[in-house]
Structure 1
Amino acid sequence: MNAEQALIDHVVATTGLPPAEAARVIEDVAAYFDEPVETYVRRRHAQLKTYGAKNDAIFARLAEELPGRVVAAPRLTERQLRRIVYG
């Protein structure tokens, strides 16, 4: 049994999902956390901007969120964050 099948079996056993649905959920979660830092920063900036947040607050929040990612992103300065968004 490979690690992927063991994970699918675990999700099936703990959630009651059928194996195909468990595999799809695992793929979705893995894809979410596989998102590159630049893509995450741009997506979150746009999300927060949609809700009326200002750039200073957005960049401070992003700097707090990034280290908490499952695979922690490198520490980025506000200038680096701005360059990701605006080029």
Structure 2
Amino acid sequence: MNDAELVSRVALTTGLSPSEAARVIEDVLAWYSEPVEHYVRRRHTTLQTTGHRNAEIYARIAAELRDRVVAAPELTERQVRRIVYG
């Protein structure tokens, strides 16, 4: 974990050692860096195996995505420029 200030803050507020805090942060960042497409496929498979039907699954995943931090798609410089200038 390269963000020493974040590691220090997490270690201080949780009682973890700096190395433990860094591992926790890396794990959380890895969890939330999952691309949207992978998240949707993974959740669909998980919900299907627990007996949910597709209509319910689609609505549930859409609702989950509204509250979930997900990895941003990779953008080219041109795409970034178009976002800025329209």
- TM superposition score category, shorter chain reference: 0.7 to 0.9
AA aligned to 2:39 is: Y
Structure 1 portions without partners, runs of 5+ = 74-87
Within 5 A, what are the aligned runs for 1:1-87? 4-71=3-70
Deviations 1:26-64 (A, max 9, x none): 001001111000000011111111211011100010111
May I ask how many residue pairs the two structures share in their alignment? 71
Q: What amino acid sits opposite 1:25 in the alignment?
A: V
TM-score by length of 1: 0.75
Unpaired segments ≥5 residues, structure 2: 73-86
Greater CA radius of gyration, 1 or 2? 2
1:12-36 CA distance string (max 9 Å, x none): 0011111111101100100111100
Please state how far the C-alpha of 1:72 moved relative to its aligned partner: 8.1
Give, in whole Å, the separation in 2 of the partners of 1:69 and 1:50: 22
Alpha carbons of structure 1 residues 30 and 64: separation in structure 2 relative to 1, 3 Å: same
**Segments ≥4 residues shifted beyond 3 Å:** none
Query: Structure 1 vs Structure 2: percent identity of aligned residues?
Result: 61
Give RMSD over aligned pairs.
1.7
